[in-house]
A and B are shown apart, each in its own frame.
Chain A
């Protein structure tokens, strides 16, 4: 069998355009709930500048790592993953600008600072969506290969998938007033209950994944091994993500430690469901 010939320019361009269309759709699917949340517009306007910069800088390694584990371009190096990250950002920024303009959240009277803040904030979830959708296609011949490469099954890759899932559900609710309100309404007893509920829900997903069609990567693992390596580590990551999101959205400002902890526990619930489900779904 002869070595595979180089695809022509036209094939590459068409493949890329299809990838762009998918990324555009992915960006909108992922970010639409946030694009239609008024807190996100307000936060985009008055978010602290350094928090926005940190958010943008966190995005680049996150997307690069996501591109790396998505695995369809198996032998391309980190430069290609980095390129994919910036492609996702460009598409996401364009998609969010278009949507916010159609919604009239951004119009011609919007100042540049305002528009940049709102678009940059929304680009965070949108580019994750773009990356997830884009990599389903680019690099393959147009048909999706469901045989997952080994790269996805490394422990760090599984944790990255959990982080992505936690961000997906967490970003939807983190900017809203309800996170703080719920933490005010719930007493300490309910909060501890919610932690236990989150851990149980996470572990149920971990367990379900482990025994789905005889998952080959972790044969004969015990309950405690799974619980410690995935559920507990996952929940710890989820807590950190919750704290980071609340800080980014300015929900921790002026709050005491116990208030912040309550809000983090509330936010950790959707994040933990997202984290655990991501390994199953993504």
Chain B
């Protein structure tokens, strides 16, 4: 930033600069826009090229983004909503509050073909059970082995957490009608169920549980930020369910061109390059410099599983009910 701009910003506390420049408001989940998340760096990179004021608004978690938008309806300030995953995009699209992006994304590095006309992906990873290699020397190779083991896992509640819902759909995708039997087998391995990812991962880090539902890319955090290579993700033969996080343009936006520019920017290096070391997920479009070295050492599954948004929406209630009744016995 130029010195005089900085000075102006300090003097006018942002209000004056916001008057001269168009504002783009992006609703995202809380953790995206903390000082440790990708928000601040992306904001800096986009504002360097857009001649605008990019404002991230952190709104709870991924699940509450759509609820917030529906609460506000067409009156919303949001121009972009960023942070829904494909398990929830059907419900989001159904609200009619989003407009098509009109972009033909080429060369995306995600494990499925992208055809969604409304939402665009920005990062992804595989759901997986993360463990400590010094505690669990031989991790299970599939859900049945996990169910037969004495290992204790912490999972998230699919009624309040997106990784929780991801695990339920993972087992549904891998086992279909047998999913309830798998859950019954897992019931004695489930140490507890938490409201959100943070509590579950916290319990795992306090050595309460042997494994925790997280992502195959989570170990990269420990390698890069803590120089600790003891965490790994257990790779299951059934394949791993994919979480793809997406953004969409709000139909009622007063800055449609700016919103389109942001979505274009989202797939470029200025955005994608920030993702690996702040979101700890794979960027949807690998930046020019490639991924950090720690990413090339990560365990990765052979098979990617994913329901289409429509399938996920149709299956969700029944799959969660199966989960609930199996674990309530």
The finding on whether chains A and B are genuine partners in a shared complex, rather than unrelated, reads no
- Could you list which residues of chain B lie within 8 angstroms of chain A, going by C-beta atoms? none
